[in-house]
A and B are shown apart, each in its own frame.
Chain A
Amino acid sequence: DQQVKQNSPSLSVQEGRISILNCDYTNSMFDYFLWYKKYPAEGPTFLISISSIKDKNEDGRFTVFLNKSAKHLSLHIVPSQPGDSAVYFCAASGGGNTPLVFGKGTRLSVIA
């Protein structure tokens, strides 16, 4: 049973517009949520995270929103750039040494 779900396998956005990537989770024990970005033939790189006690975290063009009651988080990229084209993974952490639980990823294509 998937605990972290990214229901959109792909997303296409025009350069300069907003990209919104969504993620849902089922386990209310998760304390932190992370986003990773992955280019082909490279390992995923950490992008941004949010604690369950917050509802928003911002880092430059990237903002993550968390709605705990809905068990939903989203990553907003504004403005989108062609270099943002990658696969984005949502992950959740129960803290300590437990492994992250990853979604299946969303492939973002930013079209110039």
Chain B
Amino acid sequence: DVKVTQSSRYLVKRTGEKVFLECVQDMDHENMFWYRQDPGLGLRLIYFSYDVKMKEKGDIPEGYSVSREKKERFSLILESASTNQTSMYLCASSLGGDQNIQYFGAGTRLSVL
């Protein structure tokens, strides 16, 4: 079974803090993704990566950066957390190919106070 592990289920941070969200997958997948989910807005893509040290902006990259130093690990960084970044953050990985099925982690519920 594919396993995508997000380091924290719940996080509470202060405005202005630098926040790191970590994601690890164990299936040697090429592609990794970060989304946020908000009520009524569905899943919105923040950043994705299709190879080590590669990154591509998604639909809402502002206020975020990412790091992929190893194939299995993809980190999302909030440079200076703001209250409008309070959300559920979801990491996913995929092998690519035709169907491009993405496998998701359990999510990190981040609250910025």
A-to-B contact residues, CB < 8 Å: 9, 31-32, 34, 36, 41-46, 49, 51, 89, 91, 93, 95-100, 102-105
B4 within 8 A of A: yes
User: Are the C-beta atoms of B101 and A34 separated by less than 8 Å?
Assistant: yes
B100 within 8 A of A: yes
A97 to chain B: which residues have CB within 8 Å? 30-31, 50, 96, 100
What does DSSP make chain A's interface, helix, strand, loop or mixed?
Answer: loop
A32 to chain B: which residues have CB within 8 Å? 98-100
B77 to chain A: which residues have CB within 8 Å? none
A96 to chain B, nearest CB (A): 6
- The digit string for B34-61, where 1 denotes a CB below 8 A from any CB of A, is 0000001111010010100000001000
A87 to chain B, nearest CB (A): 9
What are 7 A-B interface contacts by the 8 Å CB criterion?
A: A34-B99, A43-B104, A43-B107, A93-B99, A99-B33, A99-B58, A100-B102
Please judge, given known A-B contacts A9-B40, A103-B42, A104-B42, whether A44 and B100 are in contact too, CB under 8 Å.
no
User: Are the C-beta atoms of B33 and A95 separated by less than 8 Å?
Assistant: no
B13 within 8 A of A: no
User: Are the C-beta atoms of B97 and A44 separated by less than 8 Å?
Assistant: no
A22 to B109, CA, bound (A): 28
Across the interface, A102 reaches (CB within 8 A) one of B4, B40, B42, B105, namely B42
